[in-house]
Chains A and B, each alone.
Chain A
Amino acid sequence: MLELIVISTLNGVLFGMLLFLMASGLTVIFSMLGVLNFAHASFYMLGAFFGFQLSRWFGFWPALLVAPLLAGGLGAAVERFGLRQVHKNGHVAELLFTFGLAFVIEELVQIIWGKSPVDFRIPSVLDFPAFTIFSTNYPAYKMFMLLVSIAIFVGLLLVLKKSRVGLIVQAALTHPHMVGHLGHNVGRIFMLVFGVGTALAAVAGVIAGPALVTQSNMAALLGPILFVVVVVGGLGSLPGAFIGSLLIGLVQTFAVSMNGSLEGAFGPLSPTYAQSWLADIWSVTIAQIAPIMPYMLLVLILIFRPMGLLGTRET
C-alpha cells in the first residue's frame, strides 16, 4: 500500500507538473488576450514531433532546446499574423480561429508523420532506473522530466516576479491599456507571452514524447484535460493553474491504480438486484472510472464554484 502511495504520488506530481507547463501558458494567454486558445495542446504535440525529428537528426539534447524555440516562434507568428488580425472581429472569431488552427496542425502532423505512433525513444544516457522503492524501479527519465518541469516552474516564477518584463506582463494581465499609456508596446508583450506560452507547451511535448506516445492524436487526448485544469484552478490564475495541474495529476494517477469498487466496500449485491443494471455500477472499479474523474470534478466546480478554486472571474 505504501509503495502504491509513494509511486502514485511521484507519478501524479510528474503528470501534474507536465500539465502545469501547458496550463501556465494557456491561462496567462487567456488573462492577457481574453482568448481561450483551443490550439494550445497542438503546440504540445508540435513540440513532441519537432523533438522527435530533431533528435533523429541532431540527438535528443539539441532537440530539447531547438524544438520549443521552433514551436514558440510559430506560436508568436500565430499571434502576430493570425490572432491579432482576427481580434478586430471579436472573441468568437478568435475562438473559432484557434479551434480551426488545432485541426490544421493535426492534419499537417498526420500528413508529415502519419497517423501511427513514431519511434521517439528515451535518450540512452537516461535509460536506467534512478532508484528502487520497495520492488519498483523508478525510471531516471521520469525524474529528469520532473526536474525539467520544476526548473521551468521556478524560472517562470522568478522571471514573472523579479524581472521588469515579468512585471510588465503581470500589469498587462489586468490593465493592458494602462500599460500601453505608460509607453510599453503591449502588442509585442502579447506576442512574447504567446510565444513563451506555446514554447512551454512544446517543452512538455519534447520531454513527454518519449515517455508517453508521440502520435497525431496526442493533442486531442490532452487538450480537454488541459481545459479542466484551467477551469478548476480558475481561468486566468497562475497559482490556480498550478494547484489545478497537481490536483488533476494526482487524481488521475491515484484513480488508475485503485481497484476499489462499491462491491469491494459493501460486499456483493443481494440476489434480488444481481441481474439488474445496478450490478454493473456496483462492480465498477475506481480505475475504470479514472478517465472521467477530471470531468466529474469539472462539473462539480462549475456548479459550486464557477470561477474556479483561485479564479476571480465569474465567467
Chain B
Amino acid sequence: MLEVKDLHAYYGKSHILQGVDLRIDAGEVVSLLGRNGVGRSTTVKAIMGEVPPQGTIRFKGADIAGKPSFQIAQLGLGYVPEHRDIFPGLTVRQNLMLGIKDPRKPGKWRLNDMLDMFPNLAARADTDAGVMSGGEKQMLTMCRTLMGDPELIMIDEPTEGLAPLIVHQVGNLIAEIARRGVAILLVEQKLSIAMRISHRVYVMGHGRIVFEGTPANLTSNDAVRREWLEV
C-alpha cells in the first residue's frame, strides 16, 4: 500500500534521512521505532510533503513524493502529527467535522461512533477544543483524522507526555483502528504499545532503517535493542 524507497530529506544543510526504505501493506500495523532525533518524525513528514522529500514514495501505486499534502490526504493517507494540532476556537464537534473530506460521502467512521466510543469527547462535544487536556487532544486528533476515512493512518508519537492511564486508552484506540482494517504506521519511542499491536517493526538509527522484523524478532535481538533503542 505504502512503499518508500531510498528516501532522503534535509533540514537546511543537515542530511536527516539518508536512504529510508519501508513498506506497509493494506490492514497492516507497522511501528517505526528509534531514539529521539534519528529521523522517525521526519520520515512521516517527508511522506506527507511537509519536508521536501527526495526518493520514491508510492501510495496505492501512485507516486506521491512532493505532492501537496491535501492531495496525499485525498488519496486516503491520514496523518496525525506529533503536536496534536487541534483547532482552538472551534468546538470538539467542529474539529471532528473538519476531518470529513467530502460531507456527501460518509465514511465508515461516523461522528456518533466517535462520541459513543469516547465519552470524554462526547461530554465536551460543544466546548472549545483548545481547553482540553493533552490526552483528550490526542484522542481528538486521531478521531478527526479517522473521520476522513483513511486507508492508512500515520500516527506520530501519540503517547508523548501522557499519563500512564491515558497511554493505555490511546493504545486501545490504536488497536480499535487496526481491528477495523485501517493500516497503521505508528511512530513511537515507547516499546510497550508498539510491541503489543504491531505486525512488524522498523528500527531507525542515523537517518536509515537498521532493523526490520516482527515484534518477536526484536524481543529476541538484544544487540539491536541495546545499540538502537535502549537509553
Please list the residues of chain A having a beta carbon within 8 angstroms of any beta carbon in chain B: 164, 167-168, 170-171, 174-175, 177-187
B48 interfacial by beta-carbon distance below 8 Å: yes
Please list the residues of chain B having a beta carbon within 8 angstroms of any beta carbon in chain A: 48, 50, 68-70, 73-74, 78-79, 81, 85, 87-90, 94-95, 97-99, 101, 103, 144-145, 148
Contact yes or no, A187 B68, CB < 8 A = yes
Check A177/B73 contact, CB under 8 A, given A167-B90, A182-B145.
Answer: no
18 A/B residue pairs, CB under 8 Å, sorted by A = A164-B103, A167-B97, A168-B98, A170-B87, A175-B85, A177-B69, A177-B81, A177-B85, A178-B81, A178-B87, A180-B69, A180-B70, A181-B73, A182-B101, A182-B148, A183-B101, A184-B70, A184-B101
Distance (Å) between the CB of A169 and the closest chain B CB?
11
- Apart from A167-B98, A177-B81, A183-B148, what 9 extra A-B contacts exist at CB < 8 Å? A170-B90, A174-B87, A180-B73, A181-B145, A182-B98, A182-B101, A182-B145, A185-B70, A186-B70
A171 CA / B88 CA spacing, docked (Å): 8
Task: Give chain A residues whose Cβ lies under 8 Å from the Cβ of B81.
Answer: 177-178, 181
Task: Give chain B residues whose Cβ lies under 8 Å from the Cβ of A183.
Answer: 70, 73-74, 101, 148
A175 CA / B84 CA spacing, docked (Å): 11
Q: Is the interface of A mostly helix, strand, loop or mixed?
A: helix
Distance (Å) between the CB of B69 and the closest chain A CB?
4
Determine which of B68, B94, B144 lies in contact with A180 in the assembled complex, contact meaning CB atoms within 8 Å: B68
Task: Give chain B residues whose Cβ lies under 8 Å from the Cβ of A186.
Answer: 70
Task: Give chain B residues whose Cβ lies under 8 Å from the Cβ of A178.
Answer: 81, 85, 87
Task: Give chain B residues whose Cβ lies under 8 Å from the Cβ of A180.
Answer: 68-70, 73
Contact yes or no, B73 A171, CB < 8 A = no
Check A174/B70 contact, CB under 8 A, given A167-B98, A182-B144.
Answer: no
A185 CA / B102 CA spacing, docked (Å): 12
Among A164, A167, A168, A181, chain B packs the most CB atoms within 10 A around the CB of A181
Distance (Å) between the CB of A116 and the closest chain B CB?
47
Task: Give chain B residues whose Cβ lies under 8 Å from the Cβ of A174.
Answer: 87-89
A175 CA / B79 CA spacing, docked (Å): 14
Check A170/B89 contact, CB under 8 A, given A179-B98, A181-B81, A182-B99.
Answer: yes
Contact yes or no, A175 B70, CB < 8 A = no
Contact yes or no, B90 A182, CB < 8 A = no
Among B85, B88, B89, B97, chain A packs the most CB atoms within 10 A around the CB of B85
Smallest CB gap from B91: residue in A = A167
Contact yes or no, A181 B90, CB < 8 A = no
Task: Give chain B residues whose Cβ lies under 8 Å from the Cβ of A181.
Answer: 48, 69-70, 73, 78-79, 81, 145
Contact yes or no, B73 A175, CB < 8 A = no
Distance (Å) between the CB of A287 and the closest chain B CB?
41
A141 CA / B153 CA spacing, docked (Å): 57
Task: Give chain B residues whose Cβ lies under 8 Å from the Cβ of A168.
Answer: 98
Task: Give chain B residues whose Cβ lies under 8 Å from the Cβ of A184.
Answer: 70, 98, 101
Smallest CB gap from A168: residue in B = B98
